[in-house]
Amino acid sequence: MDSWVGPLDTLIQDFSSIIDKLWKSVKYDVDGVVLEVTDPQLKKYMDLDLSLNKPYHSWQIAYKIDPEKAEVKVLSIIPQTSRNGRVTPVALLEPTKLSGVTISRATAHHYGMVKKKGIGNGAIIELIRSGMVIPKIERVLKEADPEIPKNCPSCNANLVWDADNLICPNVGDCPAQIINTVEHFFITLRNINGLGSATIEKLFENGVRDVCRIYKLRIDDFKNYGFGDKQSQNLVAELERSRTEPIEDWRFLAAFGVHQLGRANSEQLLKRVKLDDVFKVKVDDLVSRKIFATKTA
DNA sequence: TTAAGCCCGGTTAAGGTGCA
DNA sequence: TGCACCTTAACCGGGCTTAA
């Protein structure tokens, strides 16, 4: 595949023509080009960076073309409750072909945005695929009165506003919150196959509602819950492997889903504090040792 | 005080895998 | 063999931190 190598000044000056030439040299569809630092010393320096835990290096960046767009009718807005109780509006759209795929859903982020922008049933929106992947409501072309839900779609509890977000206050008893919390645990752990959302939902329906109980399940338990022979064996084998296979301590900590303690912050914390000491550490200590600023601490 | 940058928590679609 | 499910990729908005 063709590439262009040259000084930064020239790249900035002739950016469009350089990209265009590269683009036309490829015989199949591409969604962008990659800009890369070639100086080995500079690459090494950039890798030292800085903002901890980046899962990627800093010396490469993708450049993508302006995406296709389409005018699309909103069929309805459905609420979805996340693990922390936030109720997110998802727009169901008239199925629309964009950049080679058919899109029928897009997130509306929060009900504050739904209200403010008038994203109701029958609204017309401009739809793009951000980065040529994620369906995105770029703007609202024709507003429609939105319906704001009063109750949690999962447990029917009365919803409350928190800034722009609608929140289900039924912590600890809302099925969606419980299922999503368990799912988050296994997704973050990343050392277990076959235990996705549908499996976790099925376990929930059978009264298995926490990670601890899932790890205690045996083949017969799974079979009793309606799983097949092979799947039951696989799940127990995977749980056993997950329990015994070493993983990074930060991943284990992040799996619990503590607010503001995701993958990066967990790694940052455990570089300075032993996992066993996490519950003993004080706010002042975290701040004075410059592990976190006050609010996060 | 403000702007820039980063992290978290969230989203969807496509493709692969394996069960029934 | 069809289909349900899982995994992966890529991005966004909001909140927080940091540095000037």
pLDDT tens, position by position, A102-154: 677 777 777 777 877 778 888 888 777 765 667 777 777 788 888 888 888 77
Residue A48 has pLDDT above 70, yes or no: no
Residue A145 tokens read as 């009165």
- pLDDT value, residue A259: 67
Give the Cα separation of A32 and A235 in Å (integer).
40
Q: Fill in the amino acid letter for A141.
A: L
A14 pLDDT tier (thresholds 50, 70, 90): confident
Share of chain A above pLDDT 90, in %: 0
Residue A184 tokens read as 């988050």
Domains of chain A: 8-64 (no CATH), 69-167 (2.40.50.140), 175-244 (1.10.150), 249-288 (no CATH)
Distance A194 CA to B18 C1' (A): 10
Distances (CA, A) of A135 to A36, A66, A102, A112: 27, 14, 10, 19
- pLDDT value, residue A167: 77
Strand C lies under 7 A from the Cβ of residue A295 = yes
Report the nucleotide nearest the CA of residue A296, measured to C1'. Answer: C16
- pLDDT value, residue A46: 58
> Nucleotide B10: nearest residue by CA–C1'?
A109
Give the Cα separation of A129 and A259 in Å (integer).
30
- pLDDT value, residue A273: 81
A51 pLDDT tier (thresholds 50, 70, 90): very low
- pLDDT value, residue A177: 79
Give the Cα separation of A206 and A222 in Å (integer).
10
Report, as an integer, the average pLDDT of A181-187. 79
> Nucleotide C9: nearest residue by CA–C1'?
A133
Report the nucleotide nearest the CA of residue A192, measured to C1'. Answer: C6
Beta-carbon neighbour count of residue A81 at 10 Å?
Answer: 25
Nearest to A3 by CA among A32, A33, A46, A31: A33
Residue A49 has pLDDT above 50, yes or no: no
> Nucleotide B7: nearest residue by CA–C1'?
A264
Strand B contacts (Cβ < 7 A) comprise: A 49-54, 80, 82-84, 86, 88, 90, 100-107, 133-135, 180, 184, 227-231, 234, 257-266
Distance A192 CA to C14 C1' (A): 31
Strand duo A86-98 + A165-167: pairing: antiparallel
Most distant CA pair in chain A, distance = 68
- pLDDT value, residue A55: 41
Q: Which nucleotides of C are covered by protein (CB under 7 A)?
A: 4-18
Strand C lies under 7 A from the Cβ of residue A52 = no
Give the Cα separation of A108 and A166 in Å (integer).
13
- pLDDT value, residue A209: 80
Average pLDDT, chain A: 74
Residue A292 has pLDDT above 50, yes or no: yes
Strand C lies under 7 A from the Cβ of residue A293 = yes
Report the nucleotide nearest the CA of residue A183, measured to C1'. Answer: C6
Model pLDDT for residues A223-269, shown as the tens digit of each residue: 777 777 777 777 787 787 777 777 777 778 777 777 667 767 777 77
Strand C lies under 7 A from the Cβ of residue A136 = yes
Report, as an integer, the average pLDDT of A198-212. 79
Q: Which of residues 216-275 of A touch strand C (CB under 7 A)?
A: 260
Report, as an integer, the average pLDDT of A195-212. 78
Report the nucleotide nearest the CA of residue A231, measured to C1'. Answer: B19
